[in-house]
Amino acid sequence: MNFLFNEEQTSLGETVGQVLADFAALTAPDPSRDSEAEVWGALAELGLFSLLVPEEHDGVGLAFVDLAPSIEALGSGLASPLIASTLVATEAIKRLGSSDQRAKLLPEIAIGETAIAIASAELGRGKDPFFAECRLLDGKLSGKKIAVAGADVAQELLVIARTESAPVLVLVPTDAAGVTITAHSDIDPSAGLCRVVFDNVAVAAGQQLARASIDALDTLVDLGATVHSGMAMGIAEVMLRRSVAFASQREQFGKPIGSFQAIKHRCADLAVAVEAGKATSHYAFWACSENSEDRSGAASAAKAYCGEIGCNACNDAIQVHGGMGFTWELGLHRYLRRAQVIEHAVGSRAWHYDRVVTEALAAREVENAAHRDAA
């Protein structure tokens, strides 16, 4: 057992961070999507999208956990959530796709030609990412999804829908007849959140991912939750770094404000939260990678906890920066906005804490049964 990333995993993350740092618009005070296509191209050139693709499909064949530092870098760099959703979809297709689907999609993904937006959230059922009113009946998909990041520039949509009897994951090209995509007016205009309406969209049997099963949904939610926990920690880390840097140089009462315990202790608490959040997130990446028994519990723990830490870190950073903290021009608002997008993607904190309890009670049952058998 070893709970540290190896050099390859770490340097991959650093490289992703460096590539993103070349695009100042990503973290500039004015939220924009101006550099989105260029960033995508640079990351594709780096080979980011080929990393999770198995070698047989022209990829590098890395494990999910190998990307954890890179995902954090995507969070820190405020990269488009479509990048992360494409990586989640890659792993989902790898695990749940038929051999035809894998052979067709994975090589395209590897070279950065196919971006995949994940359509899960709907109106009318609060926080539950499993819930879908979108119906797939007689090969036709109808319904409405909201907050689909990057749907307007993606090539494919991975949609959580349901047949009459079961949940189902379907892949729908964004240019299919009956698909209408409109941009939301939203809290983070750089995230590219869209409303997607399906009006009797024809879906062939080959577009369904895996057998219709709750396990497939669990897999998608666990992967998505884990990746979002990583991005939240990327944000939290930037907030810590910037708070410490500001508190070290900003002077009041003739001293750097970081020498005052009111500020110093806030920063220390933030550092502790970053350490604890990263530990849960990193473990979730490993649990997803290995399909360990506690995968869902670990993923939900990470999403709930890191989402909370990411949002709180932004609050702390703004407070430490004082009057500057809530100006537009300093740009801290960009992280605050993105932290909220992350918090509410793939199920909010409340839903994931609830799922942690479900998983813990189920694990207790298993343990008790084993205890009874032994007795």
The footprint of other proteins (CB under 8 A) covers 1-6, 9, 65, 68, 240, 244, 247-248, 255-256, 258-259, 261, 263-265, 267-269, 271-272, 275-277, 279-280, 282-283, 285-287, 290, 292, 301, 304-305, 350, 352-357, 360-361, 364
What distances in angstroms separate CA 248 from CA 7, 252, 263, one per listed residue? 31, 11, 10
State the minimum distance, in angstroms, from the CB of residue 124 to other proteins: 18
Pair type for strands 116-119 and 156-162: parallel
Taking alpha carbons only, the member of 184, 104, 102, 188 closest to residue 148 is 184
- Using an 8 Å Cβ cutoff, are 345 and 149 in contact? yes
What Cα–Cα distance (Å) separates residue 51 from each residue in 54, 59, 282, 307? 8, 6, 18, 26
Angle at 273 between CA 2 and CA 317, to 5 degrees: 135
Residue closer to other proteins, measured from CB, 211 or 265: 265
Nearer of residues 203 and 263 to other proteins, judged by Cβ:
263
CB of 360 to other proteins, least distance (A): 5
3-state SS of 280-311? HHHHHHHHHHHCCCCHHHHHHHHHHHHHHHHH
- Start-to-end CA distance of the chain, whole Å, equals 31
**Nearest to other proteins of 185, 261 (CB atom):** 261
Nearer to other proteins, 132 or 247 (CB): 247
Contact by Cβ (8 Å): 80, 342: no
For residue 293, the minimal CB distance to other proteins (Å) is: 12
Nearer to other proteins, 180 or 358 (CB): 358
Nearer to other proteins, 94 or 282 (CB): 282
Calculate the dihedral angle through the C-alpha atoms of 227, 231, 236, 240, rounding to the nearest 10 degrees. Answer: 120
Inter-residue contact 161 to 147 (CB < 8 Å): no
Nearer to other proteins, 190 or 300 (CB): 300
Distance in Å, CB of 199 to other proteins, minimum: 35
The distance of closest approach from Cβ of residue 250 to other proteins in the complex, given in angstroms and rounded to an integer, is 11
Q: Compute the least distance from the CB of residue 126 to other proteins, in Å.
A: 11
What would the two tokens of residue 338 be? 């993105």
Closest to other proteins by CB, 286 vs 335, is 286
Instruction: State in angstroms the smallest separation of the CB of 61 from other proteins.
Output: 17
Do 57 and 103 form a contact (C-beta atoms < 8 A)? yes
Smallest gap from residue 244 Cβ to other proteins (A) = 5
* Amino acid code (one letter) for 318: I
